[in-house]
């Protein structure tokens, strides 16, 4: 093939398909490699390289084989001796390229097969190229021409007709009527990869369309001198944009509006007459909310922030500004709430005074209001006058005094609220500390050499009608000799158990914090490890809850032995069981 013919073919295909020449060349090489595999027994897993010299039109085919000592697979391996004939410096384990171009390869190729393969590969390459191209454009504005309009939406041709995009009906501006062959700008919302090529979804209602249009029309936004903080949009009706300057001495709002409003008018014309309000952003939420409700004039903004999801702003406006602040069907208030992220409650001045005047009758609030408390009688008189004469406008002095009164009442109310919250928090903390029962540390165990002296010093219990609670097992227990010569209050059977004639049944229970009226014959020695185990047991029972422990004790004692239950009624277990 002559040089001019090959170059002409590659350039022609690249121009017709709007593809780079390198992509077309890669497609041609892949098609020739496929034809070579079909002509020979080369497997699909073996690497085949095709080189095309555009200057001469010569085609060469290469195979890659591994150099080995002993050839086991001739299709993928070559011996070291044969490899060194081609390349003397090759070593075992390396890969060598072999020129396997068949004789008269260009003439032996079936033109029809090559043509089908090349067309198929070019279509695949075109789809991949378009997907990569539009994936980079996702989230940007694209220009297109309306091809057709249906009840489900519109079809738009992009990139000079190379791709088709879909503009769904729910992504079209309400009331907007598109005509075939009309040039529009839309926001590329989504790009999907399908077997038939990339699927492009456009939008004309996305709020980021406003952001991209402003970046196009306002150089200060594109260069970063002005930043868009928030956007709230009702497609086809109104849009509010909050902007802020990143450098001093820059008017952010004026830069967006332009000289005589030329910049903003271009956006309004592009969106079919949709109104756009540009608002200066402020870090103070109260000031920002007041500006977001423009064009209405705001007297005061009271913030009530319990949680981030329950942030509420109570806005007070003059009576004649109430409908303007709310807007048609609540549009202005709804957009302001979306722009600021606060729930906004709008009240007229008359409603606000009716709400706050009964609250400030509290002497504590009047004391917290300070000098502003002297405005209370004047506010009552003004409220009565305007209620008796509906439609009477508020004077400038009345509006100034009302603003002062409402701000002072709000500050006093919030101060008392914070004080009450702090008092309740302290009270709750005190209750929690009172409910906590301190764990008493067990007394140290008596030394083995002192049981006799402890028995002599131990007082002899007085005979009573009912058994007194005995000392804990952690304390020293007196010897049985200390009870000689005195009448025992226990029954005959219990006394025989004490003397050792009848063995005392031991319950299969965990150690409890209970005391038994039956003295043991020998003092109990408690080691250090046992003290720690008892302390750990006390902590565990305290954490688990006493009610659960009481039910478990009652069940196990009653189930094991009723006689044991009767003997334990003289101690603390009796109180637990009666509860």
The length of the chain in residues reads 579
Residue 551 CA from chain centroid, whole number:
45
**CATH number for the domain whose boundaries are 3-121:** 3.30.1480.10
Q: Which portions of the chain are predicted below pLDDT 70? A: 1-6, 44-45, 57, 104-114, 307-309, 437-531, 543-579
Residue among 139, 150, 223 at smallest CA distance from 189: 139
Q: Are 135 and 189 in contact (CB under 8 A)?
A: no
The sign of the CA dihedral 522, 523, 527, 532 is positive
The sign of the CA dihedral 279, 280, 281, 283 is negative
pLDDT at 475: 42
Name which CATH class applies to 138-205. Answer: mainly beta
- CA dist 117 and 108 (Å) reads 16
pLDDT at 446: 54
Alpha helices by DSSP H, 438-503:
451-457, 492-499
DSSP assignment letter at 46: S
**N-terminal to C-terminal alpha carbon distance within the chain:** 108
pLDDT at 326: 93
pLDDT at 451: 44
Burial class (CB in 10 A: 0-12, 13-18, 19+), 261: exposed
- CA dist 202 and 189 (Å) reads 5
pLDDT at 208: 93
pLDDT at 26: 82
Residue among 523, 499, 517 at smallest CA distance from 573: 517
Q: pTM for the complete prediction? A: 0.61
Q: Are 444 and 475 in contact (CB under 8 A)?
A: no
Rounded to the nearest 10°, the torsion over CA 105, 108, 109, 112 is: 160
Domain with residues 285-434, CATH architecture? 2-Layer Sandwich (3.30)
Return the structure tokens found at 360: 């400030």
Return the structure tokens found at 480: 């049985």
**What are the extents of the domains in the chain?**
3-121, 138-205, 285-434, 466-482+489-578
């Amino acid at each position: 093939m002559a040089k001019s013919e090959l170059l002409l073919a590659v350039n022609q295909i690249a121009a017709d398909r709007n593809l780079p020449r390198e992509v077309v060349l890669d497609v041609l090489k892949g098609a020739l490699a496929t034809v070579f595999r079909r002509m020979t027994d080369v497997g699909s897993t073996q690497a085949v390289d095709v080189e095309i010299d555009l200057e001469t039109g010569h085609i060469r085919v290469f195979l890659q084989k591994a150099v080995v000592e002993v050839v086991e697979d001739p299709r993928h391996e070559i011996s070291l001796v044969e490899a060194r004939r081609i390349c003397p410096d090759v070593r075992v384990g390396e890969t060598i390229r072999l020129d396997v171009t068949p004789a008269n390869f260009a003439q032996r190729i079936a033109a029809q097969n090559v043509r089908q393969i090349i067309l198929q590969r070019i279509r695949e390459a075109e789809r991949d190229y378009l997907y990569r191209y539009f994936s980079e454009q996702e989230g940007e504005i694209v220009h297109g021409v309306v091809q057709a309009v249906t009840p489900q939406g519109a079809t738009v041709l992009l990139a000079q007709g190379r791709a088709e995009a879909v503009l769904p009906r729910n992504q079209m501006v309400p009331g907007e009527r598109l005509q075939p062959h009309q040039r529009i700008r839309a926001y590329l919302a989504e790009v999907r990869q399908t077997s038939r090529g990339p699927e492009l979804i456009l939008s004309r209602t996305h709020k980021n369309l406003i952001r991209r249009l402003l970046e196009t029309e306002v150089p200060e936004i594109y260069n970063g001198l002005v930043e868009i903080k928030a956007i709230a949009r009702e497609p086809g009706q109104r849009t509010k944009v909050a902007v802020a300057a990143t450098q001093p001495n820059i008017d952010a709002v004026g830069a967006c509006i332009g000289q005589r409003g030329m910049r903003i008018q271009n956006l309004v014309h592009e969106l079919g007459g949709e109104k756009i309000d540009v608002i200066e952003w402020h870090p103070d939420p109260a000031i920002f909310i007041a500006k977001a409700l423009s064009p209405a004039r705001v007297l005061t903004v009271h913030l009530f922030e319990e949680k981030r999801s329950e942030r509420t702003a109570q806005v007070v406006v003059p009576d004649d500004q109430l409908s303007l602040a709310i807007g048609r069907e609540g549009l202005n208030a709804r957009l302001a709430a979306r722009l600021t992220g606060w729930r906004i409650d709008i009240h007229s001045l008359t409603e606000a005074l009716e709400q706050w005047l009964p609250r400030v009758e509290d002497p504590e609030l009047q004391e917290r209001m300070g000098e502003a408390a002297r405005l209370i009688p004047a506010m009552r008189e003004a409220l009565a006058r305007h209620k008796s004469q509906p439609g009477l406008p508020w004077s400038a002095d009345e509006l100034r005094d009302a603003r002062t009164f409402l701000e002072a009442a709000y500050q006093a109310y919030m101060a008392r609220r914070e004080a009450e919250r702090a008092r309740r928090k302290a009270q709750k903390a005190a209750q929690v500390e009172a409910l906590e029962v301190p764990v008493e540390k067990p007394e140290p165990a008596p030394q083995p050499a002192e049981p006799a002296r402890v028995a002599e010093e131990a007082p002899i219990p007085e005979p009573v009608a009912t058994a007194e609670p005995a000392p804990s097992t952690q304390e020293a227990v007196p010897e049985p000799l200390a009870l000689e010569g005195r009448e025992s209050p226990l029954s005959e059977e219990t006394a025989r158990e004490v003397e050792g004639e009848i063995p005392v049944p031991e319950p299969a229970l965990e150690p409890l914090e209970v005391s038994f009226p039956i003295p043991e014959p020998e003092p109990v020695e408690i080691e250090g490890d046992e003290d720690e185990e008892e302390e750990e047991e006390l902590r565990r029972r305290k954490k688990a809850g006493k009610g659960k422990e009481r039910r478990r004790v009652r069940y196990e004692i009653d189930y094991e032995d009723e006689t044991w239950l009767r003997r334990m009624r003289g101690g603390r277990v009796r109180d637990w069981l009666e509860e």
